[in-house]
A and B are shown apart, each in its own frame.
Chain A
Amino acid sequence: MLQLIADGLVVGSVISLGAVGLTLTYSILRFANFGQGEFLTWGAYLAVSALSLTLAVTGAGVMAPIEPFSFGWQLPVAMVASAALTAALALALDWALFARLRRTGSAITLVIASFGAALALRNLLQFLYGTLPEYYTREIQIAIRLVPRDTLGGLRVTPDQMLVLGVTAAAVIGLHLLLTRTTLGRAMRATAQNPALARVAGVDVEGVVRATWVIGAGLAAVAGVMAGLVGQIRPGLGFELLLPLFAAAILGGIGSVWGAVAGGLIVGLAESFSVPLFGAEYRLATAFLVLIAILLLRPRGLFGEKA
């Protein structure tokens, strides 16, 4: 029981981070970006490259882990580099594709273009990195027993898993502060609500759009690295998370940051509980059942505002 909750929260954290980016780009660019999953994958792989590079440059060979975690200081550095590179990738994509379509196309054109971009990104990634799974570290982590087995089934978690929860919490709180306390954040909220009025008030909407890509893709990269830290890094990593990302964003009420976080955790928990109940094959199906059930009760999602 407790174990299922913990596992669900770890998976849910990764989904939350990705879904927050999805919901941000949706509310400001006004289209559902099917490329968001690939930003997770690219984030995970770019961190692999950044990590190898850091290790090569420092001549370290292998990471000396920072106890109690499985990785050394090089991984956080690689994650920051990867977030920056993934953000640059999103900006390049916006410049080459989405910005042009925004001027002429409808929302559906943008959605379909993002679908195409996702395919291209995934194939390019496989071409560059191959299809074999990668790992940041080969260290085997000993899970810490937090609750003995005779209490609610017991609870064991690895320090890395706890870190994933912590990083997610920090990222979401940071984003919340950005959105509520800074001019950029207020400009983003203003643009999401009324782009024409935002321009009248002096907001450079194209600048806000670029900032949104940077934040959304940066969070996706962090989510990808977190997913890689507690699992395998595979070319399908982001694609497999795409539907849960959408489920989480819709569940929370698309456009709502806290909704995406709650939605991500709920989807993670639903997936985790479905394994003993229905078997691992039905993880996704269960997540969707929860989505449908909640939408039937609250059509705008948990935190959605009325249109």
Chain B
Amino acid sequence: MTAALEFCAVEGGYEPGLPILRGASLAVQQGEIVALLGPNGAGKSTLVKAAAGLVPIWSGSVMLGGRDITRVPAHRMVREGLGFVPQTENVFANLSVLENLQLAAALVPKERRGSIDAMFHLFPDLARQRSLPAGRLSGGQRQMVAVARALVASPSVLMLDEPSAGLSPLLVGVVFERLKAVRETGVTILLVEQNVKAALAIADRAAVLVEGRERLVGAASDLADDGRLAGLYLGAGVH
């Protein structure tokens, strides 16, 4: 079975000679939620940015539904069906909520263009705030705008970089509930998280990235009880 998203021995980084990704491999199957965990600075954000076309990939490849997207320019990824919600500054603050969604919808071909009303249905809070500049919303609501902006382009795979960062535990719960609902609609999710507990609770599988390589990959429920997980976070490493 072809993976929905697959990293094959990806090497890359921001500056030549300074690799951040050192042969990372990971397959995300159709319909899964996979959590990408790992200590600060492991390269989790770099990996998803590389897939999104924002960080150069020197060798290896990224496949989306069996198609090689390694060299696809960033702005064409939405057409390929890859959605990405960056960790910070992930909404257009000076555009209204509605304009954020209108822009994203207009930039994909008709067959991928989702309905904005459906987004307001999925995120009812946003419907009421539709004409406010997105920058004026609270952190949780901004996160919803960012997710809705990616979803309105009907991605087959959605990558999210720490959507829980800066949110209260209550809001984390709300956002993750929405992600589960998103997965129910058939979207495959790769979820980068620092919040290990919350991530493992909704993920099917998880991978731990250390120094630019995956070190531990398994079912989320197994990893939750795996002593090695904490070890990796402490930098002990496993062999």
Using CB atoms and an 8 Å cutoff, list the residues of chain A in contact with chain B.
Answer: 183, 186-187, 189-190, 193-194, 196-205, 305
Contact = CB atoms under 8 A, between A and B. Distances in A.
Contacts of B92: 189-190, 193-194, 197-198, 201
Of B76, B77, B86, B106, most A-chain CB atoms within 10 Å: B106
A190 B106 CA distance: 13
B99 A305 contact: no
Nearest to A203: B75
B53 interface: yes
29 contacts: A183-B103, A186-B106, A187-B103, A187-B107, A189-B92, A189-B95, A190-B92, A193-B92, A193-B94, A197-B91, A197-B92, A200-B54, A200-B74, A200-B75, A200-B77, A200-B78, A201-B78, A201-B103, A201-B104, A201-B107, A202-B75, A202-B78, A202-B104, A202-B153, A203-B75, A203-B107, A204-B75, A205-B75, A305-B94
B43 to A, nearest CB: 18
Nearest to A182: B106
A201 B108 CA distance: 9
B102 interface: yes
Contacts of A203: 75, 103, 107
Given A186-B103, A190-B103, A199 B86 contact: no
A199 B84 CA distance: 11
A190 B95 contact: yes
Majority SS at the chain A contact face: helix
Interface string B84-104: 101001111111000100111
A204 to B, nearest CB: 5
Interface in B49-103: 52-54, 73-79, 84, 86, 89-95, 99, 102-103
Contacts of A197: 86, 89-92
Contact of B52 (A186, A200, A305): A200
B205 interface: no
A199 B74 contact: yes
Given A189-B94, A193-B92, A193-B93, A199 B106 contact: no
A253 to B, nearest CB: 13
Contacts of B91: 197
B149 interface: yes
A194 B54 CA distance: 13
Nearest to B83: A200
A190 B76 CA distance: 16
A186 B95 contact: yes
